[in-house]
Structure formats: C-alpha cells, structure tokens
Amino acid sequence: MTPGAQHPNEPAAQPLRSDAERNRERIIAAARTVFARDGLSASMASVSREAGVGIATMFRRFPTKAELVDAVFADRMGAYADAVATALDDPDPWNGFVGYIETACAMQAVDSGFADVLTMVFPTAKTLEERRNQAYEGMVQLIGRAKATGRLREDFDASDLVLLHMANAGVVNATGDAAPDAWRRVVALLIQSLEAPARGVLPDPAGHEALYKAMLRAGQAGSTAPAPGKSG
C-alpha cells in the first residue's frame, strides 16, 4: 500500500472503535438472553445470530467462550458473592445459611446460564473466578458458624455446596417452563436434610479436588467452540 493510500483510512479509525464497542455490547446482551434461555450449552453461533453480527465479528470480540462467559456473568457472580455477605451478616448463622441456599438456587432458577456457571469452572475468566473464590471463602466461614449453633449437621462439607448447585441446576434445566417451581421443593427437601440432628450417616464427601476436576471438565466442555473458518 502506498503512503498516500494510508491517509484516507486514518479518520475512520475512531468510528471503527465505536462500532466495535457497540458490537461488543450487542453480543453481551444477546448472550445474556441466549444463555439464560438455553444454558451454557448454547453455541457461539446462536449468540451471534441473536446479536445480529457475523460469527467472525463474534470471535474478534470474544475469541473464546470463556471470555464471553466472564463478560456476561461476572456481575451475577458478584451478586452471588453479595448473597454470601448478606448471609454472614445474619445474627442467626443457620438462618443466614438457609437464606443463602434459597437465594443462590433462585438465581439459578431464573437463569439457566447461571445455573450452569455455578457447576463449572473457567480458569481464564479471571473476574468471575475471583468473585466465586470470594463467595466460597465466605461460605466456609458461614458453615462453621452454622455448625457451632448446632443447627447444621456436623458431617456437612463445604464441597457439598457444589453438589447442591449441581442438583438444582439439573432440576432447573430438566423442568424448564413445564414445572418452573419444582426446584423449590427440591431445595426445601435438601435444607431439611441438612438440619441437625442428623438422621443417618452420610457417605464420605467427594472432596474439593475431585469436584474441581468435574467442574473444570464441565467448563471446558461448555466452552468448546470451533473458530470461524472464514470472516463474516
């Protein structure tokens, strides 16, 4: 390209950046809609169609699905962390613990994508994972306090929270709009089973490392998406 041909392109740089930002916001808004409806199994192509942008534009803004998940759900993971903080502030740790479970499961129930997010790990989604870790640290404190009151069964393990969210996500995704309140009964059953005195003995917990591997594998499966073969 000759030097003289570069000048006409320079003034167009700023509008291009504005267009790129508008496309980014359209993609995020579309992803919120698609993921909330279809969960994280929804394809990047379905998001690009919802946003009205080409698949190549989608991958320019978000080269990986994990980056899109981070942009879409970081704020909701922040709200999830806030729910833990609210639970910690409750003067009755058992009430705080129950309130947290009900709030977190309700968040899953209204958004299939977030139902999945709580059962998956995305190591490259830095903001989302930082907020998840913040919430987890708070829950470990809350579990200890609830046990100290004698209301939470002693053999409950913090890793059981992952199983609880997996169970609720399964109910939410299976029942959908056919039985939209079914999750409430499942959560009530789970809460009642957690209250002391314990009735029976639980098997050994799966453990943090094993469940992390399961969540990581689920996140990797949910993030798999082929790069576009040609620009669009």
| pLDDT of res. 229 | 45
How far is 215 from 110, CA to CA, in rounded Å? Answer: 21
What domains lie within the chain, and their CATH numbers?
15-63 (1.10.10), 73-223 (1.10.357.10)
Per-residue pLDDT of the chain (232 residues; tens, 9 = 90+): 444 444 555 444 444 478 888 899 999 999 999 999 999 999 999 999 999 999 999 999 999 999 999 999 999 999 999 999 999 999 999 999 999 999 999 999 999 999 999 999 999 999 999 999 999 999 999 999 999 999 999 999 999 999 999 999 999 999 989 999 999 999 999 999 999 999 899 999 998 899 999 999 999 987 765 444 433 3
179 C-beta neighbours (distance < 10 Å), count: 11
DSSP notation for the chain: --HHHHGGGGGGHHHHHHHHHHHHHHHHHHHHHHHHHH-TTS-HHHHHHHHT--HHHHHHH-SSHHHHHHHHHHHHHHHHHHHHHHHHH-SSHHHHHHHHHHHHHHHHHT-HHHHHHTT---TT-HHHHHHHHHHHHHHHHHHHHHHHTT-B-TT--TTHHHHHHHHHHHHHHHHTTTSTTHHHHHHHHHHHHHBSSP-S-PPPP--HHHHHHHHHHHHHHHH--PPPSS--
How far is 149 from 227, CA to CA, in rounded Å? Answer: 53
- Over its C-alpha atoms, the chain yields an Rg (Å, rounded) of 21
pTM for the predicted model, two decimal places: 0.84
For the record, the structure tokens of 30 come out as 């579309």
Q: Which residues contact 25 (CB under 8 A, 6 or more apart)?
A: none
Burial class (CB in 10 A: 0-12, 13-18, 19+), 40: buried
| pLDDT of res. 106 | 97
Burial class (CB in 10 A: 0-12, 13-18, 19+), 196: middle
How far is 26 from 33, CA to CA, in rounded Å? Answer: 11
